[in-house]
A and B are shown apart, each in its own frame.
Chain A
């Protein structure tokens, strides 16, 4: 009896211990907080994207981290397009200006090759919770590694979405008239040809009160063109010769359609960026747009009590916006945000623990649900979270579309010195939007790409390209 009781007690203690270990392992946030307490009193220097991204750190996660661990956070705001050069320059100067780095997936290869990222595997081994890695959607998990090593942790899973006005698309008169004119049902367009037709139909009927679409036409154009180009069947390079093929027929068709479809967009849409497109959607001026995921929260008016978002026009389209994959069904996984540790940091452990905390299941869910911070779902648990699904009436549809986008999306081109190729592509697209002949713009782009490839080295670039092109998300079937 006594033996049985003893065994029972041992069993209970063992189970409690196992349970305790399991509980600790299940929660990367708690583990990071506990370990970080030994670095209390230090202050981390973090480079973050200027604006709402940085505000999350300054207003919410920084103060919370300080309260939990005693570690302060000093945020430096840097415009997105300057994040890469600024962080690289600081690394080259060995300044140790930042402990925590904010990076895009397509920069990982270049930064690793230049020794600008601290390998994180030893830290993950020491502090991490590998079970939480299984929860990351595969496309975004892929971003964190390069040649088998982990260099960054994802905190933002960007996917382009098509936002459309359900009230316009569901209107029986519109449905009837559209079908009579085009011979198929009015629905979120599945192809770019249909996008042009739906856009024109709505503009013809409602303009100037409402236009068929208002797309982002300046800024980040490499993302938008890359998506369209690949949807049209384009490939960036000839894999044998590494000659640029952006000026192939799919490229010319994609850019020509992009320019032609400006006709059904509001006057001056050529100059629209993210802000103009968001304003037009929220104020009910456009029936469709393609943009990043936070817009769903803002169009739903979830930002109403956020002072930092007071610049977002009050939504006139609450409960009227539907979500779909952009035409072609393969949205660009446009940038996304990863956090990394600078090899020049003097507080590497504390920096790692901060990013582990932000990346953890527990903390990241809070952040992807906030209107502030521009963070978007990247974990399976985010898509399936009942809290998130109930955040607004159609949030479940939104999360389902985001998940599909993550599974079927195109990953950004990531080769040697990708940013140079992006810069050229962005300029070529904006030149065409500004009036240059699309074919001439793409021919010039191809020449610039070929010169870049020659300069970097055809064989080196070919190896990097083939490695990237082998990913299923590079070119979808």
Chain B
């Protein structure tokens, strides 16, 4: 009787609880690793920790109220979104064009694909430094090339002139991350159902119609994942902008990450920046959940 009870509660390979027990350690570690820092950040955001104040008593919503009057933060959010919405479509389009070009058999295809993905394996800090040199107004090749085309000496101050600084950032980012889009979309295109494409060709469908009605729906889930990953990367963007402009001129190119770094780690506004992080986390999580739902890729 007793043994039958034990065998009843003892999980076996086939019972659902056995699977739960197996994954429990991993889930627990993940929860501890993500929940503890999150709780700590939330607690700190209600305190008044800065370099000069070590007040750990509850300060209410003071830090959250400050966010609404912090024009520099809202500008940083705007700058981040500007870069995201400018760079992401370009990277997607270029990545898609390259993927189409390389999806069939091409001479030296492997070599070219390997060369094309080099930028995305370079550290963004290094890429930023490299582009800073490329954009140097005196010694950088960009101005020299433009000068050859224009037939006169050109001195564009890419990293300080407010009119040119965003194009410089976007060019650097597109150079580094288009290969990421390319490689993911190439894999998606390589797995297309050839029979469907052949059938469309036999039926006389135009290339555009084939793309819109067969290829695009087939690669859509993969493309959406690629957009999502790059979108999140761009919202967290720090390295390239830091190396190119340090957020300048003034604070014209400060992204959310640069702003948080300066306020948190250079100015020690610990509690305030914790409040910013909490608010942005809520905001971006909501956007993410909404997007995932719309994209129907979370199912």
Contacts and interface: CB of A to CB of B under 8 A. Distances in A.
A284 to B, nearest CB: 16
Contact of B250 (A81, A267, A420, A430): A430
Interface in A326-362: none
Interface in B1-57: 51-52
A427 B160 contact: no
Contacts of B162: 434-436
Contacts of A114: 51-52
A325 interface: no
Contact of A85 (B138, B248, B268): B268
Given A268-B155, A271-B137, A417-B52, A434 B265 contact: no
A417 B138 contact: no
Contacts of A82: 266
A431 B252 contact: yes
B75 to A, nearest CB: 11
B249 A433 contact: yes
Interface in B120-159: 136-138, 155, 157, 159
A218 B163 CA distance: 18
A133 B213 CA distance: 84
Given A419-B266, A423-B262, A268 B157 contact: yes
Contacts of A89: 265
Nearest to B270: A92
Contacts of A441: 250
Contact of A434 (B137, B161, B247): B161
B137 A456 contact: no
Contacts of B248: 218, 427, 430-431, 434
Contacts of A451: 69
A467 to B, nearest CB: 16
B155 A267 contact: yes
Given A417-B52, A435-B162, A268 B250 contact: no
A231 B249 CA distance: 25
A416 interface: yes
A126 interface: no
B82 interface: no
The size bracket of the interface on B is: 20 to 34
B266 A427 contact: no
B52 A271 contact: no
A52 interface: no
B159 A428 contact: no
Interface in B66-83: 69, 72
A85 B263 CA distance: 11
B267 interface: yes
B257 interface: no
A428 B250 contact: yes
A244 to B, nearest CB: 16
Interface in B155-180: 155, 157, 159-163, 165
B251 interface: yes
Contact of A110 (B51, B69, B159, B160): B51
A277 interface: no
A271 B160 contact: yes
A113 interface: yes
Contacts of B161: 270, 434-435
A436 B249 CA distance: 9
A88 interface: yes
A169 B84 CA distance: 52
B266 A113 contact: no
B236 to A, nearest CB: 21
Nearest to A435: B162
A431 B250 contact: yes
A403 to B, nearest CB: 35
Given A85-B268, A89-B265, A110 B249 contact: no
A267 B162 CA distance: 16
Interface in A80-113: 81-82, 85, 88-89, 110, 113
Interface in A403-439: 416-417, 419-420, 423, 427-428, 430-431, 433-436
Nearest to A420: B267
Interface in B236-281: 247-252, 262, 265-268
B266 A423 contact: yes
Interface in A115-152: none
A268 B265 CA distance: 32
B267 A417 contact: yes
A417 B69 CA distance: 21
B238 to A, nearest CB: 15
Nearest to A266: B138
Nearest to A441: B250
A367 to B, nearest CB: 29
B250 A436 contact: yes
Contact of B51 (A88, A431, A434): A88
Interface string B163-201: 101000000000000000000000000000000000000
Nearest to A448: B72
Contacts of B160: 218, 270-271, 430, 433-434
B138 A268 contact: yes
B252 A434 contact: yes
11 contacts: A85-B265, A88-B268, A110-B52, A268-B137, A270-B161, A423-B262, A431-B252, A434-B160, A434-B248, A435-B161, A441-B250
Interface of A: 81-82, 85, 88-89, 110, 113-114, 218, 267-268, 270-271, 416-417, 419-420, 423, 427-428, 430-431, 433-436, 441, 448, 451, 456
Interface of B: 51-52, 69, 72, 136-138, 155, 157, 159-163, 165, 247-252, 262, 265-268
Given A88-B51, A427-B250, 16 more contacts: A81-B266, A110-B51, A218-B160, A267-B137, A270-B160, A270-B161, A271-B159, A417-B51, A417-B267, A423-B262, A430-B248, A431-B249, A431-B250, A434-B162, A441-B250, A451-B69
- Top 3 A-B residue pairs of the complex, sorted by shortest distance between their CB atoms: A431-B250, A434-B249, A268-B137
